[in-house]
A = this chain, B = another copy of it.
Amino acid sequence: MPYFSQSVQHIRSSEIRDLMKLATRPDVISFAGGMPNNDLFPIKEVDEIMQNLPAALKKTAFQYGPTAGYPPLIKSLKKYLKQKGLPVDTHRLMITTGSLQAINILGMEFIDPGDLVLTENPSFIGGIAVFKAFQAKLTGVPLQNDGIDLQVLQKIIQSEKPKMLYVIPNFHNPGGVIYSLQKRKALLDLLSGSGILLLEDDAYNELYFSAKAKKQTKPIMSLDTTDVEVVYTGSFSKILGPGFRLGWLLAPPSIYEKAQIIKQGIDACSPNFTQVIANEFMRQGYLSNYLDKIRIAYKQRRDQMAEALEKYMPKDVLWQKPEGGFYFWLKLPQNLDSTAILKDSIKKGAVFVTGKTFDPNGRQNNHMRLAFSNMQLNEIEPGIKIIADAIKSHMLVNS
């Protein structure tokens, strides 16, 4: 049986697909989907852009574009990333069809069957799926409140030869945490000279809820990366809309060159139609105001969720209030199984994603991910009450 499908078969259990279906049922309160809020998209702004788009740009929007991306968008994005301290002059920037495609391209470029790839545990399900599809051996390194567990990482590096380390330092999906600046630096020190490629996924960079958190979002790639090869990926999904299917990767020239050839064979180019709009969104200065607006909205949602959790969750359930992003990551007592809780919770009308979904080895299941990004505000409290009740009933059974 062919290479890719052999492994990919086991990635998305029917359980998850059923869940996704439930998550869109109108009578179910969903904390499951990690998507932006439907009512927060910059529709008015994009309408304005479309109405004023010169005829020549419209033609460009309909046509094929260069494999590496629409050049004016690359220019705008470079300017934007430079402000974050990223090395856009020495490295090369490519537009991808969503940042999941960026991870895919790097998987194709680097992973041989059997290669060891390290991720945080928990980690992004899309990343895990890509690495499994390329038949990597996956090992999860525990995620702590300030980032990846460096002691565990060091032990692994000393005894094995990982090819790649995949991390999400800002407002982790699903972990909700942000890496401390100290840990970012220590991670680079640890990787220095190891030959391990660091893949930094920064999809949630802009979604900070405080000045302190903002300061902490400094990309690892913007620090001193002497003797560490880093590839940085980002996305328009959280700062414009997932429906645009636009992401990017910033990579050293040698990695970029091969990535471009691979992308040429995958989908020729990313949609020019949405690239033209995304560029105008940045170039005409819409982005900054829009981000100010959504940060306030998501912070409000985070606060309501925190309040509801404090009010309803039993004291043995633990979490850290996220400083940005979309997710609360709840730790249940060791003997509880979040799949069993989910089944009860669904019946009462609330869904979330089970912990093991995010474990690269699909085992650990006493966690749950609760996204606060895309339900109605007034659904948060009743939804959390349903889940808390389901947890409590399982604690009784297990006590």
Report A's interface with B, CB cutoff 8 A.
1-5, 8-9, 11-12, 33, 35-36, 38-39, 41, 43, 46-47, 50-51, 55, 58-65, 97-98, 100-101, 104, 108-113, 126, 129-130, 133-134, 237, 240-245, 258, 261-262, 264-274, 276-277
Contacts and interface: CB of A to CB of B under 8 A. Distances in A.
Contacts of A130: 265
A296 B126 CA distance: 46
Contact of A36 (B1, B63, B129, B243): B63
A266 B100 contact: yes
A133 B265 CA distance: 8
A262 B112 contact: no
A274 B272 CA distance: 10
Nearest to A126: B268
23 contacts: A1-B112, A2-B111, A2-B134, A3-B3, A4-B108, A4-B262, A8-B258, A11-B265, A38-B63, A41-B62, A43-B58, A64-B242, A98-B268, A100-B266, A126-B265, A126-B268, A129-B264, A130-B265, A133-B262, A245-B245, A267-B267, A271-B271, A271-B274
B258 A245 contact: no
Central interface residue in A2, A60, A61, A258, by most chain B CB within 10 Å: A2
Given A41-B62, A43-B59, A62-B244, 20 more contacts: A2-B109, A4-B262, A8-B108, A11-B265, A12-B264, A38-B63, A43-B55, A43-B62, A47-B58, A51-B51, A62-B240, A64-B242, A97-B97, A97-B271, A101-B266, A104-B267, A242-B272, A245-B245, A245-B271, A271-B271
A297 to B, nearest CB: 15
Contacts of A2: 108-112, 134
A362 to B, nearest CB: 15
Given A8-B262, A12-B264, A265-B133, A63 B109 contact: no
B98 A242 contact: no
A64 B243 contact: yes
A48 B123 CA distance: 43
A108 B5 contact: yes
Nearest to A97: B267
A109 B5 contact: yes
Contacts of A101: 266-267
Nearest to A53: B47
A309 to B, nearest CB: 26
Nearest to A102: B267
Contacts of A129: 264-265
Nearest to A266: B104
Given A108-B4, A108-B5, A268-B126, A243 B41 contact: no
A243 B273 contact: yes
B8 A261 contact: yes
Nearest to A163: B2
A47 B126 CA distance: 35
